[in-house]
Amino acid sequence: MRPARSVVKISLALALTSLPLVSLQTVAPAGERVYRIGVFHVGDHVPPGLRTLRAGLAALGYEEGKNVQLDFRNLADEDAARETARTFVHNRVDLIVAFGNPTVRAARAATTETPIVMIHVSDPVAERFVNTLARPGGNATGFVFFAVSPGKHLELMREMVPRLRRVLVLTDPRDPVSPRQLAALRAAAESWKPLELVEREATDRDDLERVFRSIKLGDVDGVVSASINLQIRFTSLLIRLAAERRLPLASYRKESVQLGALFSYAPDDAAVGRRAAEYVDKLLKGARPADLPVELPTKFELVINLKTATTLGLTIPPPVLARADEITQ
């Protein structure tokens, strides 16, 4: 069964942040422009980059309640994202900030005119969001986040999990990124025989719970995802299901490690929000998305949860710990 298309009710705090702000036109000082920005994300968590995006805008002189209005929506699935994108365009927002591939696809389908700032996307050229990274063309620009091959996650898991033989690989056939992610994992596993990938498809919460129920003790030694959609939509669920089966989970962001995943290897997603604020500022001041290059991450962080490792009976080798940028106890 598909999740409801309404805004995800994760917590009271999330529900409050997901609500659109009241119109600011009546409270802005006479003659001062109020910029309206539609911001959305598909997932079971608020993207960390939202906080730093807001902080970055504030540092540039944008004050919510005075000269800018951010309408943030955290959504259950891509269908809801498409509806929201159409709403943003209908309401004539000045700019759209799209966190993740699903919302970028939705925004691109809804408008070819409203500027779009992409945050936390994978390969915008392969996804046809832009023409090239250097010269995006069209109305979208932004920041690549998923620049790490899942093969790297598999490599790190091999270093942390002794006698790693079988790895559960989750893939969403509806996720356009899945074929490339799965190919990278297969290529990596081929070079590390007798490592075996146990591939299972899932598109929603029920599918994931069914897959993990089918896994018996000793069937697999770890979990990785070949679907970005599954990672962002079901972050908390994957952490819980892996923990219940006592399986190490590779994640795409350090916040997931703090919640119980074994490790992550990825850019600092919160830092991307600050950089995105600069792009928003330029676009609101008249720059064209076509002329702002899509930026690649320059630094990647390895974050390890030692408490999770202990719970799973793992001893992380000292050379791996020495390479970690952050260790969570």
Residues in contact with 128: Cβ distance below 8 Å, sequence separation at least 6, in sequence order? none
pLDDT tens digits, residue range 236-286?
Answer: 999 999 999 999 999 988 889 999 999 999 888 778 899 999 999 999 999
Task: Note the pTM of the prediction, 2 decimals.
Answer: 0.85
Mean pLDDT of 218-236: 94
Mean pLDDT of 193-220: 96
pLDDT tens digits, residue range 49-106?
Answer: 999 999 999 999 999 989 999 999 999 999 999 999 999 999 999 999 999 999 999 9
pLDDT score for 31: 61
pLDDT score for 14: 38
Nearest 5°: the CA angle 137, 270, 238 is 100
- Domains within the chain, CATH numbers bracketed: 12-146+269-291 (3.40.50.2300), 150-266+301-328 (3.40.50.2300)
Position 204 pLDDT exceeds 70 = yes
pLDDT score for 17: 40
Q: Outline where the chain has alpha helix (H).
A: 12-18, 48-59, 78-90, 101-110, 150-160, 178-190, 205-213, 228-233, 235-244, 254-258, 269-284, 306-311, 318-323
Residues in contact with 35: Cβ distance below 8 Å, sequence separation at least 6, in sequence order? 62, 67, 68, 69, 94, 95, 284
pLDDT score for 222: 97
- Residue 211 buriedness (CB in 10 A; 0-12 / 13-18 / 19+): middle
Provide the pairing of β-strand 263-266 with 301-305. Answer: antiparallel
Nearest 5°: the CA angle 94, 97, 101 is 140
pLDDT score for 27: 45
Angstrom distance (rounded) from CA 177 to CA 227: 6
pLDDT score for 193: 86
pLDDT score for 15: 37
Position 112 pLDDT exceeds 80 = yes
Percent of the chain with pLDDT over 90: 79
Helix (H) or strand (E) holding 74: strand 68-75
Mean pLDDT of 123-130: 94
